[in-house]
């Protein structure tokens, strides 16, 4: 049989050009018996790793059943690219070896670097291509009209790459193919670039033509009816069998034969890229392993100082370290640990708080290297499995850094390794259901209304498509042809890559030049460069990735520790905060057990808060469980209640076991002991798969991957069947088996391994400790770290005040930019929080710094402040709006009245737009210090007196909170009349269970957790506290509009109490939002008619946070 290699394959990583996944191409090419397939996307290598991964799978599958002596026959995979110059010269380029590949990567990188941060195509010229001709095989794609310029270039390229240049011919079915191929053959002979057969494949099979047409329309921004000759006339751009190709090129059999020559000449494969870890931080003369061992043991000495450990490093720890080091040596991962250590050491030297997590992070080595703070001596974590020996996958350590200082770390990494060797990995943005249906609908010429209606029905249903019922519900006709086509095509489009974006912080580091490994592009953000491959690709190739992530809580903790040091003289770090063995830990656990956790890391959410009183954490490991248990995995697997019952001793600990003939009864005890027989962590689920369902580590890994992407592909059920079948066969209780798998599914997207939970638990403990012992410090620190977490400043301040902290308002004479601590009004040990200028929206930090510098002993008047501090009138008006002139005895109106005059009396230049940005010079600097308001007398105007309610409303607008009163208190009288009780009253124990009550308040939070199907959780707040509302699906559907849009809401429902947890199960609602406007207009009730638009009250003054 004739042999043929398809060398022109465009995948869907040539965005909106190819209509098949690289994997599909490889599978079909192999099935057709092609000798080789060359993946060549447009100026890119973005899709080759996926093809490579698929190719490896096929090879492994075939290798299994292979008889000895039998030859392994798979399609060969060639890695190439289709270079397209700015003036339209197109050439398929295949590097023969690693060096040539590197040159190509550099070329594309260079083209990308011309982009200047803008999203455009890679800019290359013909000369660029000539410059990298060494070691490449070129297959030039002829244009429709063969010009003399083209011929010249073809000749030039054939000269430069003698014997390695070819001219591509494809059978186009345009009627004149015989003549055209003849001409090309002749041209090839004349120029020394002989004809080679290709089929210019854009999709794997002819059935993809419709989708190919649609992506063309999306690319050309037109509808299918307008697309005209942008579309191909036929469906011939698919992979064809060698027989078909030979028939089409029967007049040019040598063009078919050359494809094989080319395939044989290309020796480069992606295997050549592996394991190029940098060894920068290793001092000369040492091996990385030696260096790591030295660092580890030195770190161990610091971690276990002689003062506390006269015996030296505890024997248990020493043993673990030795085991881990041996494993690291075996796997040759020393460079990885050293590199992470290097980054973390930099952060520590800059006093940037950080903490590692990830599969390898909770090792004793990482503790000694100060990457993590989980002490192996006191923690029960099992470390040996932190690296899967079998998988040969690189270790994974994610490091969280303080949110606002992460950029410094990133720039350090760039600086240390250079732009050529460090870059962020990509995130492939895929078409999701909504976007797919919208763009397909547009391409098919459906009206936006119809596509909007369709995309709405898609919402929530993922790969399972669109049942007719849903379409009918959207008011559309499911028998409509265009509609059906749209739905069908959209389903095909889902999962297609759309564009590359940059990953949040995954750095790829290499020993050699990174731009010789993969093309690098510029990110939308300045100073960011990223590569074309995403983290799955990186995993496949085994490149080294270090995740540099940002975490707001770390910023908050650093600020808290600093404040404690400054004001109370304690010098703690995350590692040295008093732990379980210290008496100060007890009140911390007591506090958490009462669900008193507003602002505390991870456990401040509604779900966590209702779990805390049930779990009653008493020690650190309880926090690890607390963090892990309120997650989709355990909830979906129905693991929560069994765990709680066993913990409370209601139910005995019990370990499911197989029937005795298959294995020891306690095979799962080892896995599940720490969690009382209930799997709560991701690795436990995997361990069950391996131990109880006898998955090979490879299968378990496949399962994990299938889970992580189960929305994209549907092969989960294969694992499911296998998992359930094997475990039931081995005699496990089917209910247990089912719930185990349910949990694995839940882990899929929100996986929470024990090591992550442990790292997070430490932050839970640290934040809770500060909040418990120094609520004022915690309040200031968390306000200074906003935005973060679950709650608004208003709730954080309220919580602090309820814990006896005095909070003082922002004042021009006392505040700093950040919130600060100062002596309380009534004296006493506990300091008060002074709100900082940062609470006022729209202020410029530098300008306020100037004001603070110029303040001296304080300002006596608005005029003096303006003259001396040189701040803009905009800023002064903002300060007045926030009521920050009280120390001058001016309320916001008086201050604003004074501020408005500043321009006229020459202290400030007339306000221009954005003047606050640059205009900070006073026009009369010499006169300024002597100037005073007395110089400019004017008639007294008595300003209308301001109601308290109005002050409160204005406080909310300017700063998001008010210390004067709660907005709802002004409605109490009226609320009382409609039978509403306060939230404080609704917590009274005398109220009977199930009583029908009405509470009202501002809507703080709306939540629609994915695990609670269709149920909405509301949190409302009045002047006495908060109430938690549950809205069941049916009620929600009836009141959707009110529930989703109200800012001020009265809820009538049944009281439900379980221990400390109180809910109101809603039955009816009353939207009171419009009354909020009355706060600002308390003294006037407008006579304006409904149709005249009255001055719209600023309802945005109260924002809720919505979580979906």
Token pair 């939540």: residue: 1007
Residue 1084 interacting with another protein (CB under 8 A) = yes
In angstroms, the CA 710 to CA 720 distance is 12
Read off the DSSP letter of residue 179: H
Residue 206 interacting with another protein (CB under 8 A) = yes
Residue 1094 interacting with another protein (CB under 8 A) = yes
Closest CB to another protein among residues 46, 218: 218
- Strand intervals (E) in 225-336: none
DSSP 823-854: --TT-SSSPEEEPPGGGSTT--HHHHHHHHHH
- Contact window for another protein (CB under 8 A) among 10-18, 119-127, 252-260, 1039-1047: 1039-1047
The 10 Å Cβ neighbour count of residue 1066 is 22
CB proximity list for 555: less than 8 A, separation 6 or greater: 353, 402, 403, 404, 405, 785, 788
- Strand intervals (E) in 43-89: 76-84
Among 221, 233, 310, 311, binds another protein (CB under 8 A): 233
Among 297, 662, 897, 1032, binds another protein (CB under 8 A): 897
Closest approach, Cβ 374 to another protein, in A, equals 44
Closest CB to another protein among residues 235, 607: 235
Task: Say how many Å lie between the first and final Cα of the chain, rounded.
Answer: 58
Closest CB to another protein among residues 309, 488: 488
- Contact window for another protein (CB under 8 A) among 222-230, 249-257, 554-562, 612-620: 222-230
Residue 175 interacting with another protein (CB under 8 A) = yes
Which residues in the 857-896 window bind another protein by CB under 8 A?
877, 881, 892-893, 896
Q: How many residues bind another protein (CB under 8 A)?
A: 61
Greatest alpha-carbon span in the chain: 108
Residue 1085 interacting with another protein (CB under 8 A) = no
Among 3, 86, 146, 227, binds another protein (CB under 8 A): 227
Q: Are strands 807-808 and 832-834 parallel, antiparallel or unpaired?
A: parallel
Closest approach, Cβ 978 to another protein, in A, equals 21
In angstroms, the CA 975 to CA 1020 distance is 14
In angstroms, the CA 429 to CA 503 distance is 10
Which residues in the 408-427 window bind another protein by CB under 8 A?
none
Q: Please name which of 866, 999, 850 lies closest in space to residue 923, comparing C-alpha atoms.
A: 866
In angstroms, the CA 272 to CA 517 distance is 10
Sequence-ordered alpha helix ranges (H) in 350-444: 364-368, 406-417, 433-443
Residue 939 interacting with another protein (CB under 8 A) = yes
Closest approach, Cβ 623 to another protein, in A, equals 38
Is 645 exposed, middle or buried, given 0-12, 13-18 or 19+ CB atoms closer than 10 A?
middle
Question: CA-CA distances (angstroms) from residue 524 to 189, 501, 521, 534, 545?
Answer: 46, 9, 10, 17, 21
Residue 180 interacting with another protein (CB under 8 A) = no
Residue 2 interacting with another protein (CB under 8 A) = no
- Region of residue 601 (left: phi > 0; alpha: psi -120 to 50; beta: else): beta
Closest CB to another protein among residues 213, 818: 213
- Contact window for another protein (CB under 8 A) among 3-11, 272-280, 474-482, 792-800: 474-482
Question: CA-CA distances (angstroms) from residue 663 to 53, 685, 698?
Answer: 35, 18, 21
Closest approach, Cβ 903 to another protein, in A, equals 8
Closest approach, Cβ 1107 to another protein, in A, equals 16
Among 251, 298, 315, 943, binds another protein (CB under 8 A): 943
- Binding to another protein by CB under 8 A, coded x per residue (else -) over 480-499, reads -xx-xx--------------
Closest CB to another protein among residues 499, 1041: 1041
In angstroms, the CA 315 to CA 303 distance is 14
Residue 444 interacting with another protein (CB under 8 A) = yes
Closest CB to another protein among residues 448, 664: 448
Structure tokens at 675: 């969690």
Among 1, 64, 67, 229, binds another protein (CB under 8 A): 229
Residue 1 interacting with another protein (CB under 8 A) = no
| Cβ 102 vs Cβ 64: under 8 Å | no
Closest CB to another protein among residues 712, 914: 914
Closest approach, Cβ 439 to another protein, in A, equals 15
Closest CB to another protein among residues 587, 936: 936
Closest CB to another protein among residues 241, 427: 241
Among 31, 384, 504, 1086, binds another protein (CB under 8 A): 1086
Q: What is the dihedral of CA 202, 208, 214, 215, to 10 degrees?
A: -30
Among 449, 581, 829, 934, binds another protein (CB under 8 A): 449
Among 106, 900, 909, 1057, binds another protein (CB under 8 A): 900
Closest approach, Cβ 951 to another protein, in A, equals 11
Read off the DSSP letter of residue 206: G
Which residues in the 552-611 window bind another protein by CB under 8 A?
none
Token pair 């790829």: residue: 508
Among 213, 400, 604, 683, binds another protein (CB under 8 A): 213
Residue 1088 interacting with another protein (CB under 8 A) = yes
Q: Please name which of 337, 348, 357 lies closest in space to residue 295, comparing C-alpha atoms.
A: 337
In angstroms, the CA 613 to CA 621 distance is 16
Among 306, 827, 945, 1085, binds another protein (CB under 8 A): 945
Among 348, 350, 1041, 1075, binds another protein (CB under 8 A): 1041
Among 402, 863, 954, 1022, binds another protein (CB under 8 A): 954
Question: CA-CA distances (angstroms) from residue 1034 to 24, 473, 1013, 1065?
Answer: 43, 17, 11, 12
Residue 1108 interacting with another protein (CB under 8 A) = no
Residue 473 interacting with another protein (CB under 8 A) = no
Structure tokens at 506: 């995954």
Closest CB to another protein among residues 652, 939: 939
The 10 Å Cβ neighbour count of residue 190 is 12
Residue 432 interacting with another protein (CB under 8 A) = no
Residue 231 interacting with another protein (CB under 8 A) = yes
Task: Determine which helix (DSSP H) or strand (DSSP E) holds 455, and give its type and residue range.
Answer: helix 448-458
CB proximity list for 928: less than 8 A, separation 6 or greater: 867, 868, 907, 922
Among 5, 37, 91, 224, binds another protein (CB under 8 A): 224
Residue 926 interacting with another protein (CB under 8 A) = no
Is 977 exposed, middle or buried, given 0-12, 13-18 or 19+ CB atoms closer than 10 A?
exposed
Closest approach, Cβ 188 to another protein, in A, equals 23
Structure tokens at 1043: 């529930």
Among 941, 989, 992, 1100, binds another protein (CB under 8 A): 941
Residue 234 interacting with another protein (CB under 8 A) = yes
- Strand intervals (E) in 422-496: 422-430
Closest approach, Cβ 451 to another protein, in A, equals 12
Among 6, 41, 103, 236, binds another protein (CB under 8 A): 236
> Which residues sit at the interface with another protein, rule CB under 8 A?
173-176, 178, 206, 209-210, 213, 224-225, 227-229, 231, 233-236, 444, 449, 452, 475, 481-482, 484-485, 877, 881, 892-893, 896-897, 900-901, 904-905, 938-939, 941, 943-946, 954, 1041, 1044-1045, 1080-1081, 1083-1084, 1086-1089, 1091-1092, 1094-1096
């Amino acid at each position: 049989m004739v042999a043929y290699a398809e060398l022109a394959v465009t995948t869907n990583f040539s965005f909106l050009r190819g209509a098949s996944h690289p994997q599909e191409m490889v599978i079909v090419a192999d099935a057709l018996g092609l000798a080789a397939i060359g993946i060549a996307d447009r100026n890119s290598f973005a899709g080759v790793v996926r093809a490579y991964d698929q190719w490896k799978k096929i090879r492994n599958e075939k290798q299994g059943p292979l008889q000895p002596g039998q030859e392994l026959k798979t399609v060969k995979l060639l890695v190439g690219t289709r270079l397209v110059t700015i003036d339209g010269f197109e050439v398929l380029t295949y590097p023969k070896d690693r060096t040539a590949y590197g040159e190509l990567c550099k070329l594309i990188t260079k083209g990308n670097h011309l982009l200047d941060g803008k999203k455009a195509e890679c800019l290359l010229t013909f000369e660029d291509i000539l410059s990298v001709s060494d070691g490449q095989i070129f297959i030039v794609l002829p244009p429709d009209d063969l010009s003399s310029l083209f011929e010249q270039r073809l000749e030039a390229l054939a000269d430069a790459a003698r014997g390695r240049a070819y001219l591509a011919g494809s059978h186009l079915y345009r009627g004149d193919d015989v003549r055209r191929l003849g001409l090309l053959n002749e041209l090839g002979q004349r120029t020394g670039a002989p004809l080679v057969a290709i089929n210019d494949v854009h999709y794997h099979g002819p059935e993809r033509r419709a989708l190919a047409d649609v992506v063309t329309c999306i690319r050309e921004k037109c509808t299918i009816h307008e697309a005209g000759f942008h579309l191909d006339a036929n469906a011939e751009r698919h992979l064809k069998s060698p027989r078909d190709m030979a028939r089409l090129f029967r007049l040019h059999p040598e063009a078919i034969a050359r494809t094989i020559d080319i395939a044989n000449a290309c020796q480069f494969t992606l295997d050549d890229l592996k394991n190029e870890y940098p060894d920068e931080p290793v001092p000369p003369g040492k091996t990385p392993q030696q260096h790591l061992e030295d660092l580890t043991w030195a770190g161990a000495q610091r971690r276990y100082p002689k003062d506390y450990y006269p015996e030296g490093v505890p024997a248990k720890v020493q043993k673990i370290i030795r085991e881990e080091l041996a494993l690291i040596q075996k796997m040759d991962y020393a460079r990885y640990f050293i590199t992470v250590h290097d980054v973390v050491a930099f952060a520590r030297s800059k006093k940037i708080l950080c903490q590692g997590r990830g599969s390898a992070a909770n090792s004793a080595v990482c503790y000694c290297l100060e990457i993590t703070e989980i002490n192996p001596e006191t923690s029960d974590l099992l470390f040996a499995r932190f690296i899967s020996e079998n998988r040969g996958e690189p270790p994974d350590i994610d490091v969280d850094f303080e949110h606002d200082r992460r950029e410094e770390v990133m720039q350090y990494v760039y600086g240390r390794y250079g732009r050529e060797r460090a870059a962020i990995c990509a995130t492939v943005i895929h078409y999701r259901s909504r976007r797919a249906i919208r763009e397909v609908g547009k391409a098919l010429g459906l009206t936006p209304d119809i596509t909007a209606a369709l995309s709405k029905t898609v919402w929530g249903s993922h790969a399972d498509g669109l049942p007719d019922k849903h379409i009918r519900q959207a008011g559309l006709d499911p028998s409509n042809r265009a509609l059906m086509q749209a739905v069908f095509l959209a389903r095909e489009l889902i999962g297609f890559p759309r564009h590359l974006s940059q990953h949040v912080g995954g750095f790829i580091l290499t020993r050699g030049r990174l731009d010789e490994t993969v093309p690098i592009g510029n990110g939308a953000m300045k100073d960011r460069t990223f590569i074309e491959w995403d983290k799955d690709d990186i995993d496949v190739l085994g490149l080294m990735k270090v995740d540099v992530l940002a975490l707001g809580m770390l910023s908050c903790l650093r600020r808290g520790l600093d404040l404690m040091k400054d004001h109370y003289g304690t010098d703690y770090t995350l590692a040295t905060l008093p732990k379980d063995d210290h008496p100060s830990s007890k009140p911390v656990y007591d506090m958490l057990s009462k669900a008193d956790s507003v602002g505390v890391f991870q456990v401040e959410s509604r779900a966590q808060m209702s779990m805390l009183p049930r779990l009653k954490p008493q020690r650190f490991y309880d926090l690890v469980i607390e963090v892990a248990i309120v997650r989709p995995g355990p909830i979906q697997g129905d693991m929560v209640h069994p765990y709680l019952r066993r913990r409370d001793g209601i139910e005995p600990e019990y370990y499911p076991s197989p029937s005795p003939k298959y294995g020891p009864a306690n095979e799962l005890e080892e896995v599940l002991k720490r969690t009382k027989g209930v799997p709560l962590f991701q690795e436990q689920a995997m361990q069950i798969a391996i131990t109880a369902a006898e998955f090979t580590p490879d299968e378990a890994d496949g399962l994990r991957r299938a889970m992580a992407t189960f929305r994209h592909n549907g092969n989960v059920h294969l694992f499911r069947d296998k998992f359930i079948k094997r475990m039931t066969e081995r005699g496990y209780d089917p209910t247990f088996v089912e719930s185990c798998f349910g949990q694995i599914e839940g882990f899929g997207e929100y996986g929470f391994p024990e090591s992550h939970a442990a790292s997070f638990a430490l932050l839970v403990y640290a934040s809770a400790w500060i909040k418990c012992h120094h609520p004022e410090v915690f309040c200031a620190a968390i306000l200074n770290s906003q935005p973060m977490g679950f709650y608004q400043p208003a709730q954080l301040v309220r919580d602090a005040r309820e814990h006896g902290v005095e909070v003082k308002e922002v004042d021009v004479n006392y505040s700093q930019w950040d919130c600060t601590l100062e002596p309380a009004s009534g004296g006493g040990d506990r300091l008060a929080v002074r709100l900082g200028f940062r609470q006022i929206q729209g202020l410029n930090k530098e300008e306020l710094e100037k004001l603070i510098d110029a303040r001296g002993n304080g300002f006596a008047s608005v005029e003096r402040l303006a003259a001396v501090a040189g701040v803009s009138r905009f800023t002064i008006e903002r300060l007045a709006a926030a009521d920050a002139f009280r120390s001058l005895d001016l309320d916001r109106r008086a201050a604003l009245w004074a501020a408005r005059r500043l321009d006229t009396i020459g202290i400030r230049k007339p306000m221009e737009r954005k003047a606050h940005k640059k205009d900070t010079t006073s026009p009369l600097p010499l006169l300024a210090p002597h100037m005073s308001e007395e110089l400019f007398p004017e008639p007294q105007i008595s300003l209308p007196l301001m109601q308290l309610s109005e002050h409160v409303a204005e406080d909310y607008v300017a700063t998001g909170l008010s210390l004067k009163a709660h907005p709802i208190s002004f409605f109490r009288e009226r609320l009382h009349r409609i039978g509403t009780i306060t939230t404080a009253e609704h917590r009274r124990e005398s109220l009977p269970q199930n009583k029908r009550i009405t509470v009202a308040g501002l809507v703080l939070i709306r939540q629609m957790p994915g695990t609670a199907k269709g149920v909405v959780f509301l949190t409302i707040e009045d002047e006495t506290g908060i109430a938690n509302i549950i809205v069941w699906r049916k009620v929600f559907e009836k009141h959707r509009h009110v529930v989703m849009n109200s800012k001020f809401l009265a809820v009538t429902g049944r009281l439900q109490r379980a221990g400390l947890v109180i809910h109101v199960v809603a039955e009816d609602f009353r939207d009171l939002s419009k009354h909020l406007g009355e706060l600002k207009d308390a003294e006037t009730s407008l006579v304006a008619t409904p149709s005249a638009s009255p001055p719209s009250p600023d309802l945005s003054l109260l924002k809720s946070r919505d979580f979906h």
